[in-house]
A and B are shown apart, each in its own frame.
Chain A
């Protein structure tokens, strides 16, 4: 039938245009970054240095430093792998964990740029190998070692002098995995893993906590407690911005500003998507990331469940409308042919 042929032509040209402008063009614009399934084995860290060596060689620049770095990284992640094979002793780990609590506790304050996170759900949120790497050498684990000449200068660098033996590392990680691994909500996941640097104004989260409900003084219209809170936020933000180089972005609507793939790969290794960024790797496990993602979706795409529920109803309604429209057309055109 002629009409269907014409429709096919229209549809084909529309789809070709769509394909070129959307999937094809975006595929060309954004470099592909491989996703390692939240498996922290230093693969992308090593590839990153290898890539830098190749670039330096092509530009006839010296590569000695980089070659050294490469060996260092390979050795580091091989050691992490080795420690991961050890049997950790939870009871012994608890003793070691007491040292962590010197900095990591509820209500901790800013130390050298950031506030040490609560470790209440560390066992559920973070990957085991990542935690091992983190205790062994924080700057290396977070893939921000390029920012520190001496890894001990990292705000958490002191741990390298405190927990030194492989067995101790295995023990404390075993303790976190066993005792700090309760059920975690999406809110806790975001607050602990992201919330010390990133605000989320749509969820009323600031770097120092959730914004309290405003209670104005009716006589002046000013809320003195809120002003004090704002000052605290401003001071914390200043410290974070000075340490990071700039204030990390508010994540209110990041879920719609970046693709799912970008967010996943960025969290897994920030350097892979944004070379030179000050953002550290947080080491979220697959489960931990899902919780964070849920929080971000609640923040930036809050009505997704409503949308999923309403969609089929609207389409069914329109389908019925189309059937009636077709019957009406048939009826009207009966005399016309």
Chain B
């Protein structure tokens, strides 16, 4: 039995049992962040807040949602949207947040790529982040099935069909995933389970891992400068805060984060109240009808770029290209052979690579939505080839890079 003394205060009582002072020191007051950062470094906090919004609104929706092919549509569009007090608000928050979270994830990812924040000890930050991206994608897809509208049904049909893997004709695998020949009750039930239990658990575990991977290499900074954190922390603690290159996570970094979060929330709730349509496709307000294929089937905007890498090719080639697009970002830390962990503008050809990649992915996104006809098909094909080409030349151009 460990030794405990009579507590002098509630704080002391907790401190003896939970070491709250130590926790506070390690997690907040002496968790050092570089000072030379901009608002893009707050995207992690913005993501955490958005995930919180998704979680809380999801809990409220879960209280009324019915995972049954006959009841699901009306439980969302009637019960939640009309009967439940503020049900409409929770639903719009959930729907808009599911879309906006991907916008922030992409900004967060491209920030990491631009500043080289996946290099030199930060590989695991990148990989755990990519795992989060993939899990969020699965979470978004499974959630999209739940209202059981036309787009839920047909997107579910198209995406699960991919698992037949073209000429391998693995129809058994597709049936196994669906639990039926076509999306039906078994399909809806399992995607419901994935959406509200398994995937959120995985996401929360991965968020923990993502935070953990940051601890030792520390957050990167705007110039990619290598900082002696112990030395700079000593300066900070000695009161030379202005001179020190680091700041404390709380309240220094947090104060800036919260300002960025507040601006983000204004934008977010503007969308929730005045511009929610982009996140809630009209087609999905028609109930699922297995006998009626919609004129245009397209995924939500955040999947369009990888959809367009699948689409311009023949089935087998398309699937290989699609598989390539899904895993290649994981390998970024190993394909970038440059010795520099510096922002792109200091890295010569890599700077060009970055902007071409960004523009190419926007083109892929646009072409993924447009009907695959005429000029759009051609642009889509070249954009997909450019995407693959960019990854092939990445090791070559970064190998040639001089140390700066």
User: Which of B16-24, B166-174, B362-370 participates in binding chain A?
Assistant: B362-370
Tell me whether A322 is interfacial, beta carbon within 8 Å: yes
Assess the B266–A322 pair: CB atoms within 8 A.
yes
**Dominant SS at the A interface?**
helix
Q: Assuming the A-B contacts A7-B39, A302-B82, A310-B273, are A21 and B301 also in contact, with contact meaning beta carbons closer than 8 angstroms in the complex?
A: yes
Please, which residues of chain B bring their CB within 8 A of the CB of A206?
Answer: none
Please, which residues of chain B bring their CB within 8 A of the CB of A336?
Answer: 35, 241-242, 247, 252
Tell me whether A215 is interfacial, beta carbon within 8 Å: no
Tell me whether A25 is interfacial, beta carbon within 8 Å: yes
B82 touches which of A14, A259, A303 (Cβ 8 Å)? A303
Residues of B within 8 A of A (CB-CB), count = 50
Tell me whether B371 is interfacial, beta carbon within 8 Å: yes
Assess the B258–A28 pair: CB atoms within 8 A.
no
Q: Chain B residue with minimal CB distance to A332? A: B255
Tell me whether B203 is interfacial, beta carbon within 8 Å: no
Tell me whether B353 is interfacial, beta carbon within 8 Å: no
Assess the B259–A16 pair: CB atoms within 8 A.
no
Q: Which of B282-305 contact A (CB under 8 A)?
A: 282-283, 285-286, 295-296, 301, 304
Q: Assuming the A-B contacts A29-B371, A306-B88, A325-B261, are A253 and B301 also in contact, with contact meaning beta carbons closer than 8 angstroms in the complex?
A: no
Tell me whether B64 is interfacial, beta carbon within 8 Å: no
Q: Chain B residue with minimal CB distance to A7? A: B39
Q: Considering the chains assembled together, what is the distance between the CA atoms of A254 and B262 in angstroms?
A: 35
Q: Which of A249-275 contact B (CB under 8 A)?
A: 249, 252-254, 256-259
How many contacts between A and B, using CB within 8 angstroms?
A: 125
Please, which residues of chain B bring their CB within 8 A of the CB of A210?
Answer: none
Please, which residues of chain B bring their CB within 8 A of the CB of A329?
Answer: 255-256, 258-259
Q: Assuming the A-B contacts A13-B358, A253-B285, A322-B263, are A28 and B255 also in contact, with contact meaning beta carbons closer than 8 angstroms in the complex?
A: no
Q: Considering the chains assembled together, what is the distance between the CA atoms of A318 and B330 in angstroms?
A: 37
Q: Assuming the A-B contacts A332-B251, A336-B35, are A319 and B366 also in contact, with contact meaning beta carbons closer than 8 angstroms in the complex?
A: no
Minimal beta-carbon separation of A277 from chain B (angstroms): 14
Minimal beta-carbon separation of B285 from chain A (angstroms): 4
Minimal beta-carbon separation of B208 from chain A (angstroms): 26
Please, which residues of chain A bring their CB within 8 A of the CB of B258?
Answer: 325, 328-329
Please, which residues of chain A bring their CB within 8 A of the CB of B273?
Answer: 307-308, 310-311, 314-315
**Given contact pairs A2-B38, A322-B263, a sample of 12 additional A-B residue pairs in the complex whose CB atoms are under 8 Å apart:** A3-B38, A6-B39, A21-B369, A25-B370, A28-B376, A318-B266, A319-B266, A321-B262, A321-B265, A328-B259, A332-B252, A333-B256
- Residues of chain B touching chain A, judged by Cβ–Cβ distance below 8 Å, are 35, 38-40, 74, 77-78, 81-82, 88-89, 92, 103, 107, 241-242, 247, 251-252, 255-256, 258-259, 261-263, 265-266, 269-270, 273-274, 278, 280, 282-283, 285-286, 295-296, 301, 304, 358, 362, 365-366, 369-371, 376
Query: Can you name 24 A-B pairs with beta carbons within 8 Å?
Result: A2-B38, A3-B38, A10-B107, A17-B362, A17-B366, A21-B304, A253-B285, A257-B286, A303-B81, A303-B82, A310-B273, A311-B273, A315-B269, A318-B266, A321-B262, A322-B262, A322-B265, A325-B255, A326-B259, A328-B255, A333-B255, A335-B241, A336-B35, A337-B242
- Residues of chain A touching chain B, judged by Cβ–Cβ distance below 8 Å, are 2-3, 6-7, 10, 13-14, 16-18, 20-22, 24-25, 28-29, 201-202, 249, 252-254, 256-259, 300, 302-303, 306-308, 310-311, 314-315, 318-319, 321-322, 325-326, 328-329, 331-333, 335-337
